[in-house]
Amino acid sequence: MNILVDIGHPAHVHLLKNFIGIMKKDGHKVIVTVRNIPSAIHLLEIYGIEYIEFGSKSFSLVGKAVRQLKYDKLILDLVKKHNIEIGMGTSLTVAQVSRISRMKSFILDDDDSAVQPLFSLFVHPFSDYIVSPDVLDFERKKKNNITYPGYHELAYLHPDRFTPNENVLKEAGINVGEDYFLLRFNAFKAHHDLGVKGISKENKRNLINLLKEHGKVLITTEKEIDSEFEEYALNISPEKVHSLLYFAKMFIGDSQTMTSEAAVLGTPSFRCNSFAGRISYLNEEEYKYGLTFGFKPNEFDFMTRIIRQYLEVKNLKQIWKERREKMLSDKIDVTSFFVSLISGYPESVNKCK
């Protein structure tokens, strides 16, 4: 089978790296495309995944539209040249090209339509299949929707796929057994981030002052770190951050993905941004499994009070380990599901439904 995987964000490399490796090992031809996103390309190279680079990303809506048309043409030519049968990813391009070629598109979408309205409006109608966590069953009503019991993060952080490496601690300047906190601050430049707020600079300062009394503080950012916080900057290769998440005492930030990553790894996570309470998979991790907490920007002070309370809990990591085990007992290895779905197509679709 000839398969196209289109990468539009660094997180998609993590999401599909195991799938790509397994499908290639099983004899399928997998072509990976990516725009000029340095962090995504860096990850592809670290994982030894061959790729074709097509163009750069734009952050303006007009720029995105123009580049999208160019990207569609490039991918269409590639699909025809290599006789691609299935396209996979979180990509508008894969969906659109599938409408004007013989390629079938499987779009991976774990977001609520209210959070990503443009994606639902412009991507879903073009897609052959929308593949989502079953927590989104309530709004995935069309015949081409496929749901599964899991989260995107369980494609690469399920225990069958990920083993934390304690050696990473030394590389980050942390002693084994030392308490430390991992912080992540986002840039909020995606189309669905218009008007979205995260943690303000003043509140970042307040957060650091609170946490540094209880352990080491490490910060990872989506853009250049504020000079004021440079002493806390995390300087390790990005594929190693998941081991740091696993061993951390807490994760705090305004990132959706890293919040969920921390949760599925069994690390208490606290998120503060405008999306709090609006994302179904994070709500499930919070209210069903007690693995994470979400707060609006105007609830920052309330969040810090809750953090203070949990800082005093002696067996915090053990509590979260038990909560994680409950979550894992309800969920699946998502990579195995992706492999079965694609390699068994079209029969696999009927089985899923």
- In DSSP notation, 281-339 reads HHHHHHHTT--EEEE-GGGHHHHHHHHHHHHT-TTHHHHHHHHHHHHHHH---HHHHHH
The Cα angle at residue 231 between residues 311 and 210, in degrees rounded to 5: 25
**21 & 48 share domain:** yes
Please report the beta strands in the chain, taking only residues with DSSP state E, as ranges in sequence order.
2-7, 29-34, 52-53, 86-89, 104-108, 129-133, 145-148, 180-185, 216-221, 250-253, 269-272, 292-295
**204 & 76 share domain:** no
pLDDT for 71 beyond 60: yes
- CA-based R_g, the chain, Å: 20
Percent of the chain exceeding pLDDT 70 equals 93
> Domain total for the chain?
2
In this predicted structure, what is the pLDDT of residue 224? Answer: 75
**348 & 310 share domain:** no
**125 & 171 share domain:** no
Beta strand 145-148 with 104-108: parallel, antiparallel or unpaired?
unpaired
In this predicted structure, what is the pLDDT of residue 243? Answer: 97
| pLDDT band per the 50, 70, 90 thresholds, residue 351 | confident
In this predicted structure, what is the pLDDT of residue 191? Answer: 41
**115 & 141 share domain:** yes
pLDDT for 10 beyond 70: yes
In this predicted structure, what is the pLDDT of residue 32? Answer: 98
**301 & 177 share domain:** yes
Q: Which run of H or of E encompasses 349?
A: helix 347-352
In this predicted structure, what is the pLDDT of residue 192? Answer: 40
pTM of this structure: 0.93
Task: Classify burial at 22, counting beta carbons within 10 Å of its beta carbon; exposed 0-12, middle 13-18, buried 19 or more.
Answer: middle
**194 & 135 share domain:** no
- Mean pLDDT in residue range 325-346: 97
pLDDT for 103 beyond 80: yes
**150 & 33 share domain:** yes
pLDDT for 64 beyond 80: no
- Mean pLDDT in residue range 174-187: 90
CB 247, CB 182: distance < 8 Å: no
CB 304, CB 231: distance < 8 Å: no
Pairwise CA distance, residues 119 & 111, whole Å: 9
**149 & 239 share domain:** no
- Mean pLDDT in residue range 292-305: 97
The residue range of the domain holding 81 is 2-158+332-352
pLDDT for 109 beyond 80: yes
Pairwise CA distance, residues 142 & 137, whole Å: 10
**81 & 99 share domain:** yes
Amino acid at 350: N
- The structure tokens listed for 302 are 């309330």
For position 41, which CATH number holds? 3.40.50.2000
- Mean pLDDT in residue range 247-262: 95
CB 104, CB 5: distance < 8 Å: no
- Mean pLDDT in residue range 151-179: 96
- Mean pLDDT in residue range 69-96: 94
- Mean pLDDT in residue range 162-184: 95
DSSP code for 158: S
Amino acid at 112: D
**176 & 275 share domain:** yes
Closest CA to 133 of 288, 293, 329, 331: 331
pLDDT for 190 beyond 50: no
pLDDT for 196 beyond 50: yes
CB 284, CB 149: distance < 8 Å: no
**309 & 341 share domain:** no
Q: b/e string for 319-339 if b means 16 or more Cβ within 10 A?
A: ebeebbeebbeebbbbbbbbb
- Mean pLDDT, the chain, whole residue set: 92
In this predicted structure, what is the pLDDT of residue 63? Answer: 64
CB 301, CB 295: distance < 8 Å: no
User: What is the tally of helices (H) and strands (E) in the chain?
Assistant: 14, 12
Q: Which residue has the higher pLDDT, 59 or 141?
A: 141
| pLDDT band per the 50, 70, 90 thresholds, residue 327 | very high
